[in-house]
Structure 1
Amino acid sequence: MQFCAGNLAAQNASRSIQRVSVQPAYLEVVTNDGRYIFKPYTKNIIETSFIPAGEHVQQASHAVVLRPEKIKAQLHSDKQHLSYVAGNMTVHINRVLFQISYTYKDKALIAEDQGYQRSAQGRSLGFRLDQDEALYGAGARALGMNRRGYRLPLYNKAHYGYEEHSEQMNFSMPLVFSSKMYGIHFDNPTTGFLDLDSKKNNVLAYESLSGRQTYQLIAGDSWEDIISAYTQLTGRQPLPPRWAFGNFASRFGYHSESEARSVLAKYQEEQIPVDAIIFDLYWFGKDIKGTMGNLAFDKDHFPQPQKMIADFAQQGVKTILITEPFILTSSARWKEAVAENILAKDQQGQPFTYDFYFGHTGLIDLFDAHAQQWFWNIYKNLKAQGVAGWWGDLGEPEVHPAGLQHQTGSADQVHNIYGHQWAKLIAEGYRKDYPQERPFILMRAGYSGSQRFGMIPWSGDVNRTWGGLRSQPEIALQMGMQGMAYMHSDLGGFAGANLDDELYTRWLQYGVFQPVFRPHAQEEVASEPVFREPATRALAKAAIELRYRLLPYNYTLAFENNQHGWPLMRPLFFAEPMNPALSAASDSYLWGHDLLVHPVLKAGQKKADIYFPASSNWFDFYTGQTYAAGSRLSVDLVREHIPVFVRGGAFIPMAKPVQNTGQYSTRAFDLHYYYDPAVAASQGQLYDDDGVTAKAFEQGAYTLMKFRSEHRQQELVLTLDAVNGANTRKNFSKTHVSQAAASDRRVQVVIHNITAAPKKILLQNQPVAFAWDASSRQVTLDVVWKADTTATLVVQMRD
C-alpha cells in the first residue's frame, strides 16, 4: 500500500489505540481520548467521525442524505498498522505513533496531521497536503480558482459591491476539493474557518467553535465521478421549471402595477423574449425602510395583484416575489408575529429585536415548527393569487446577533444553515401541498446540500464594473463543483450607477452560457435591455434570442445535473485533470460537455488567448473555423458575441425562435452535428418533458432522444432514436410533451465541416434533398422523423 507524503512527519504521539472493533457497517477504533468511527457510504466515499471521551454521538447531519450502501470491507492488522479496506477506499492507521491516512485504489490521497485537537478557541482537524496540489471549494468566494493560501471564515455574510476579490460572501461551505482528485466535506454547520494552507506549511485545517467532528472523504477517477458522488451524498438538484431557463425582467425594483405592466409591454413592443418578472421589495411597501415583514401587496400601488398576475400569465410571463425572514417592529405583521410566537428569542424568552439597514426588526425562527407553518401559510396565500416563484433575500441572515436563540441552537450554531432551512421549508411545502409542481426558489445563502431543495443561488450584490464581471465565472464554476449548479450573477452587475454599454453587453453575452439569465440592478441605470440605447438593445436582444435557441441543449444539461450531479458550467480541468496548467484556469470554461466558452472580461479587448482542450478538435460556433485539439491561439474578438466553440463530433439541438418557453416544442427543432473525421463515433441526447411536473422523469412522463454518429470510410451515418417514458403518452399534463411523444417530428439537420457536396444522402435508404453551402461548409436537410421509428441518415461523401 502507498501512504501519503509527509505521514511520518505528522504523527500524534499523545494518542494511542486501546481497542478495535469491526462492525457490519463500520470500523470502531477506541483511543485513549475518544473513539473513531469509519463508515463507508459507497465504494468511493468513507466517513470518519471522532467522538471525544465524555461526549455522545452527535446530532444528525444537515448535509448528508445518502443511506450507506452495503460495502464489503476488510480489516488487515499487524503490530505497526491497521488497514480498513472498503470498496475503493482504504483507511490506514499507524498504531505506534497514531496517524490516519487514506488511499483510493492504492493512490495516496491525504493524511491527518495531528488529527482532532481542542483549544480555547474551539476544535480543529488538520491534514497534510502535497506541496503542489491546488485546492477548490469553501463556497462562494472571489479568490482565483486555486484557493490555497487562504484562511476563510465559514460564516455566511453579504459583501455589497464586491469585485475581483472577496474572502467572505453569502454562501460558505465546509467543503474542499483537491487537484489530486478527492474532496473532503466537514459535516458541521457551526461557524468556523477553513484554513487552506495559509501558513504555507502544507496543512489544511478545519476549525469550528463546537459541534461534530465528522468528515466524508470522496474520490473518483474523473471530476464527473467525484461531483456525482458528492451530490449522491448530499442530494441531487431537482429539475427547475423550464421557464427558469428563459429571460427575466427584474430591477430594484418595480414600484407599482402600472410600472410593471409598462415594462412588459416594452418587451412585447421590442419582441424580446421574456418568461418572468421579479418584484423586489416595493411590492409590499412604498419605501425601502420600515415595511419589511408586511408580506402582502401594497394596495395603493398594486390595487389588483391577482388580476395583474393572471394577465401576465396570459402573456406567458411568470410572477416572482421577493420575501425576507425579517419582521420589522413597524411592519403590519409585527403584532401578529409576536402573538403567534414565531420569532427568535433573547435569553429571557422574548422576541430578540435589533437594528439593521431596513429598520428595527425581529427574525423568524425557521427552526421552530410553528413558525415554519406560519411562514408557509403566507406563501400558500400568495401562491393562491397566482405567484409562480420565490426570491428569498437576506437569508444569511444578513444580520444575526450572536445572542439570538433559535429553537435548536444559538445564532452561531445555526447561522450557516438558516438559508438551507428556508429553502427546505418551501421545497417541503410544495412536496406536501403541490406535489406535482416544481418550485422556483432563488436564494443567495445556503449550505452543503442546499441543491436538493431546488435552491437557485446567485452571487450577491456584485459591483457594476469590469472587476465585478471578472469574478463571476470563477464563482459559478466553483459552486457548480460544490453541487450548486445554478449559481449565476445579476447580469450587467448590481451595485452602482455605472452606465457602461460595453460592460452590459459582454455580461449578457456571458449570461447566455450561465445557468440563469437574469439581468438585475439598482434602478438608477436600467437593467432591462428594452431601456438601453438602440445598438446595445440590439446586441442584448441577439444574446437573449440565442439563449432561447439553446433551450434544448440547456434543458438537457439540467436533466444530466438532476440525474448525475454534473455542473452546467465546468472548469477546463474537467477535460484534462492531469494538466497542471489548467488547475487555476477560469478565463474559459465548458458549458456542458460540448461547448467551450470564453467570456470577454476586459474593456476594449480586441483579441483573446484561448486554449482548446486536447480531448477533441473544436469548431467556432459562429464561423465554423477549426481549432486543433491541445492548441493555444489568439482569436479576434467581435462585438456581436463572445467566443464559443463546439467539440468535434458533438450534436447541438436548438429550438425554433420563440417569445417565451411556453411556445417551445420539440415537434420541430434544429439538430446541428459537427463532423470531424478524427471522431469515429459520437453520441448526444435531448431530454424533453412538460417542463412543470415534479419528478416527471421518475414518473415516466418524458421523452429522451438519442443521437449517434458513425464515420466509416466515405460514409457518415447519423441515427436519431427516442425513448418514451411509460406515462409519456397519457394526459399527464396539458402541455406539449404528451402529444409530442406520439407525433412526427420535423428536424432540420445541419451538418457542419463538410468540405465538398455529398454524393448522396439517404433517409431510411431513400434519397432525400439537401443543400450544401461551400462558404459555410454546411449541409442542410429537412427530416420528417416518424413517431416510434429510428431515423437513419447516410451521408455518402466524395473522395
Structure 2
Amino acid sequence: MSTLQNKNTQIEFIAGNNEFSLIYQQRLILRHTAQAPCLWMGKGEADIDMFRGNFSIKDRLDEKVALTDVKITAQPAGWDLHFSRGDTLSASLVLTTDDSGRLQLKVQNDNRAHNRIWLRMAAQPQDHIYGCGEQFSYFDLRGKPFPLWTSEQGVGRNKQTFVTWQADCKENAGGDYYWTFFPQPTFVSTQKFYCHVENSGYMNFDFSAADYHELAFWEDNATLRFECADSYISLLEKLTALLGRQPELPDWVYDGVTLGIQGGTEVCQHKLDVMREGGVKVNGIWAQDWSGIRMTSFGKRVMWNWKWNRDLYPQLDERIAQWKHEGVQFLSYINPYVASDRDLCAEASEQGYLTKDASGADYHVEFGEFYAGVVDLTHPEAYEWFKNVIKKNLIELGCGGWMADFGEYLPTDTFLHNGVSAEIMHNAWPALWAKCNYEALQETGKLGEVLFFMRAGYTGSQKYSTMMWAGDQNVDWSLDDGLASVIPAALSLAMSGHGLHHSDIGGYTTLFDMKRSKELLLRWCDFSAFTPMMRTHEGNRPGDNWQFDGDAETIAHFARMTSVFTHLKPYIRQAVKHNSQSGLPVMRPLFLHYEDDARTYTLKYQYLFGRDLLVAPVHEEGRSEWSLYLPQDTWINAWTGETHYGGDITVAAPLGKPPVFYRADSEWTALFGELRYL
C-alpha cells in the first residue's frame, strides 16, 4: 500500500494492488477492491411514457457489470483511474479539484454504447442523508432509493392509500414517495459534506445500503463535486455559492396574504373589499384566470394564451393601478406552453418556435382535454420571443407577480433546436424556464419589485427562481400529499440550496370526493403565517372547497393570522436577507443550530423559522393539543408566555394559536412577546 497526499486540497489517496481509498478532508468518499468494486457500467434503453405529466419509466437493461480491475496513474493535478473488466469493458475516473478547490470526480465510459454508470460511494451506517431536491414523504433519505426525474408530484403519493389507487386507475397519476416537481442530484451527509452531480439525465440515488450509497446515471458520463465544512451552516453557504442564491423578496410580500381569486374584475374587487372590511391584511390578488378559462372534466382550467382577457377582466389595467395605489398587487399566471387553438401558438408555429416531433411537425402535448405546443426554450429566438411575451403581456400590464407554472412536462420524444436529447434536457427544463422569467425581470429593472413563483425546478433554479411553492397538495390531511407533506418539502429544498418556499393555503387537488374542510383551511392558514409568503388557492374545483370568505369566523381567522404575519415582517425580512447573502434558508431543520442533539436529525414535521422561532404545525384533524420536541435551550410559548427548557412537551393548540416558541435570548424577544396581544 502507498499513500499520496495533497495538503493544499486535503485529499488523501491510499493505493494498493488493485484497490484504493479516497479520503477527502478526513471523509472516506470512495473505497474499491476487486471483491467490493466502486464502479459498475452497463447498457440499457430507456422506456419512458408520459401522460399528463405522469411518467412511467422503465429501463430495458442489457447488462450491469462490476469493473473489478483498476490501474492508477498519478497526475500533477490529481489521479487518473482506469477501470476494466476483461478486454471489452472499461471506464475512466479522473480525480482532481476544480478552480474553487472542490473535489471533482469525472467518470466516463470508454465505449459510448455503454450508457449506464453506477458509482458506489462509501458510507457509514449512522449517516443521515438530506436533500435531493423537494422531497415530500421523507426528510432523512437514508434507507430508500430516490429516482430523480421532474414530474407531476402525484395524487396521494402513497401506494398503500385508496386515493393513490384511484388516481393510478384513472390515469397513472397516483405517484409514489419519490415523485416530485423539483428533483436535484445533490445530497448532504451528516459527515458534513455535500455531493452534487452536474448531469441532468435520469438518475437514481439509492441510500438503502449500510456501507455505501449507489448513484446510478442513465448516461455514459457523470461529473460530481464535493465540499466539506465544520458546520451545516457553513456547508450550505458553500453549496449555495456553487448553485446560486435567491434574491430578496419584494417588500410587499410581507404586508399580508395574496388572495387567490377567479371570476373577473368585479369578483376580485368584491372579495378584496369583503376581506379588508373584515380586517384581513391583503398584499395582493392572484387571478390565475386573467387570460380566460376553459372548462374540463377536471374542473376550471386557465386558457393558455398569455394575454389579458378583456371580456372576463374588463378595465383590468385601470383596476391594477388603483389596487397598487391601495397597496394591493395584481398577480397573474403563465406557463411555457401555448394552447394549440389560440393565436400565440399560431404565431410561435409560424416562426418555428415550437419543439418538433420525429417528422419535423410541431409537437403538441395533451394536457387534459386540450393540446398545447411546447415553446422551444433552447432556440435563442424562441426564448427571446417568449421572454418578450412576459415583458409585454405581464410586466407592462402592471402585474406585481405571477405563477410561472409547469416546466416538468417536457416529453422525451420531442426534438429540440439545440440538438440535445429531450431525455437529457427534461430535468434541466424547469431551470431554463426559471431563467427566462428571471431575465424578463432583470432586463426590465423589476427584480426586487416583481415576484414569480414556481413549482418545478432543478439545478440552477437556485439562481433564477425567486420563490418556490409546493405544488398541488390534496385538500386533505394525508401525510404524503396533504398539509404535513409541505414541511419536509421545504426542509429538503432548504438542504438542496433553495431557501424560499410556501404552499397553497388549503391545498389544491380536489378529486375522488375530496372536499376542503373549514378546519383544514384554518390550520393551513396558521402554518402559512410562519412561512415567507401567504397565498390562497381556490383549488381545481372551488365549489367543493371551503374558501377564505366562507363565513365571518373564517374571515376573522385570516385577519388574525395576517396580523401575526405582518407583525413579524422585520424578522422575516431579515431571514430572507440572510438567505440571499449566505444561503441560510428561511425554513430550517433544527439540526442547523442544534448539531449535538441527535433527536433533531429525525424531525420532519417541525422546523425553525429563521434562527429564533420554532414551529410545529398541527397537521391532524380534530386536535386541540399537540406534542412536539424542543432542543435544549430556553423557549417561550409565543401565545402563553410559558417557559420551557427542552424535551418532549404537549401544549394546547387551538385554531389561531399553532405551536410556536421563541428563544429567550433572541434579539427579537420584544417583537415576539407582542404576539400574545394580537
Same fold (TM over 0.5): yes
Trace 1:482-631 onto structure 2 (pairs within 5 A).
482-496=496-510, 498-522=515-539, 523-525=542-544, 528-529=547-548, 531-614=549-632, 616-628=633-645, 630-631=646-647
SS in 2 for 1:158: coil
Structure 1: gaps of 5 or more residues: 56-117, 654-670, 675-749, 753-775, 779-799
Matched, 1:29 2:89: no
Instruction: Tell me, in whole angstroms, the C-alpha distance in 2 between the residues paired with 1:547 and 1:180.
Output: 36
Cα deviations by residue, 1:662-719 (Å, 9 ceiling, x for unpaired): xxxxxxxxx4488xxxxxxxxxxxxxxxxxxxxxxxxxxxxxxxxxxxxxxxxxxxxx
**Match in the other structure for 2:292:** 284
AA aligned to 2:529 is V
Equivalent of residue 390 in structure 2, options 376, 379, 400: 379
Displacement of 1:268: 2.4
Cα distance change, pair 373–49 in 1 and its aligned pair in 2 (3 A): same
Asked whether the equivalents of residues 365 and 373 of structure 2 are also in contact (C-alpha less than 8 Å), the reply is: yes
**Match in the other structure for 1:232:** 241
**Match in the other structure for 2:201:** 190
Matched, 1:47 2:98: no
Instruction: Name which structure has the greater RCO, CA cutoff 8 Å, separation 6+.
Output: 2
Equivalent of residue 241 in structure 1, options 223, 247, 250: 250
Displacement of 1:128: 2.6
Cα distance change, pair 268–605 in 1 and its aligned pair in 2 (3 A): closer
Displacement of 1:38: 1.3
Displacement of 1:163: 6.2
Instruction: Tell me, in whole angstroms, the C-alpha distance in 2 between the residues paired with 1:263 and 1:166.
Output: 37
Instruction: Tell me, in whole angstroms, the C-alpha distance in 2 between the residues paired with 1:191 and 1:673.
Output: 46
Cα distance change, pair 184–5 in 1 and its aligned pair in 2 (3 A): closer
**Match in the other structure for 1:218:** 227
Cα distance change, pair 212–527 in 1 and its aligned pair in 2 (3 A): farther
Matched, 1:275 2:283: yes
Which one has a bigger Cα radius of gyration? Answer: 1
Cα distance change, pair 423–607 in 1 and its aligned pair in 2 (3 A): same
Displacement of 1:575: 2.6
Cα deviations by residue, 1:282-324 (Å, 9 ceiling, x for unpaired): 5334546897442112222123221121122122111111112
Instruction: Tell me, in whole angstroms, the C-alpha distance in 2 between the residues paired with 1:30 and 1:136.
Output: 29
AA aligned to 1:130 is Q
- The structure with the largest helix share of the pair is 2
**Match in the other structure for 2:48:** none
- TM-score w.r.t. the length of structure 1 is 0.69
Equivalent of residue 259 in structure 1, options 239, 263, 267: 267
**Match in the other structure for 1:476:** 490
AA aligned to 2:348 is A
Cα deviations by residue, 1:495-531 (Å, 9 ceiling, x for unpaired): 22524222221111111112221121322256652x1
AA aligned to 1:524 is G
Cα distance change, pair 158–513 in 1 and its aligned pair in 2 (3 A): same
Instruction: Tell me, in whole angstroms, the C-alpha distance in 1 between the residues paired with 2:574 and 2:325.
Output: 27
SS in 2 for 1:409: coil
Equivalent of residue 395 in structure 1, options 404, 407, 413: 407
Displacement of 1:377: 1.2
SS in 1 for 2:472: coil
**Match in the other structure for 2:50:** none
- TM-score w.r.t. the length of structure 2 is 0.81
Displacement of 1:603: 1.6
Asked whether the equivalents of residues 388 and 440 of structure 2 are also in contact (C-alpha less than 8 Å), the reply is: no
AA aligned to 1:10 is A
Cα deviations by residue, 1:600-658 (Å, 9 ceiling, x for unpaired): 111222332222212x2111112221111x432222323331111111211227xxxxx
Cα deviations by residue, 1:244-302 (Å, 9 ceiling, x for unpaired): 23434444x51211211212122222121111111213533454689744211222212
**Match in the other structure for 1:138:** 132
Asked whether the equivalents of residues 259 and 282 of structure 2 are also in contact (C-alpha less than 8 Å), the reply is: no
Displacement of 1:166: 3.0
Structure 2: gaps of 5 or more residues: 1-11, 13-25, 39-66, 84-90, 159-175
Displacement of 1:455: 3.1
Cα distance change, pair 526–244 in 1 and its aligned pair in 2 (3 A): farther
Asked whether the equivalents of residues 557 and 656 of structure 2 are also in contact (C-alpha less than 8 Å), the reply is: yes
Displacement of 1:546: 0.3
Instruction: Tell me, in whole angstroms, the C-alpha distance in 2 between the residues paired with 1:431 and 1:408.
Output: 28
Displacement of 1:192: 2.5
Trace 1:412-423 onto structure 2 (pairs within 5 A).
412-423=423-434
Instruction: Tell me, in whole angstroms, the C-alpha distance in 2 between the residues paired with 1:570 and 1:592.
Output: 7
Trace 1:146-225 onto structure 2 (pairs within 5 A).
146-162=140-156, 166-197=177-208, 200=209, 202-210=211-219, 212-225=221-234
Q: How many residues align?
A: 587
Cα deviations by residue, 1:86-123 (Å, 9 ceiling, x for unpaired): xxxxxxxxxxxxxxxxxxxxxxxxxxxxxxxx956x22
Displacement of 1:466: 1.4
Displacement of 1:563: 0.6
SS in 2 for 1:316: coil
AA aligned to 1:474 is P
Asked whether the equivalents of residues 5 and 130 of structure 1 are also in contact (C-alpha less than 8 Å), the reply is: no
**Match in the other structure for 2:62:** none
SS in 1 for 2:314: coil
Asked whether the equivalents of residues 498 and 525 of structure 1 are also in contact (C-alpha less than 8 Å), the reply is: yes
Instruction: Tell me, in whole angstroms, the C-alpha distance in 2 between the residues paired with 1:410 and 1:337.
Output: 21
AA aligned to 2:226 is L
Displacement of 1:552: 0.3
Displacement of 1:208: 2.2
Cα distance change, pair 269–223 in 1 and its aligned pair in 2 (3 A): same
SS in 1 for 2:214: strand
Asked whether the equivalents of residues 476 and 516 of structure 2 are also in contact (C-alpha less than 8 Å), the reply is: no
Asked whether the equivalents of residues 390 and 440 of structure 2 are also in contact (C-alpha less than 8 Å), the reply is: no
Asked whether the equivalents of residues 290 and 331 of structure 1 are also in contact (C-alpha less than 8 Å), the reply is: no
SS in 1 for 2:282: coil
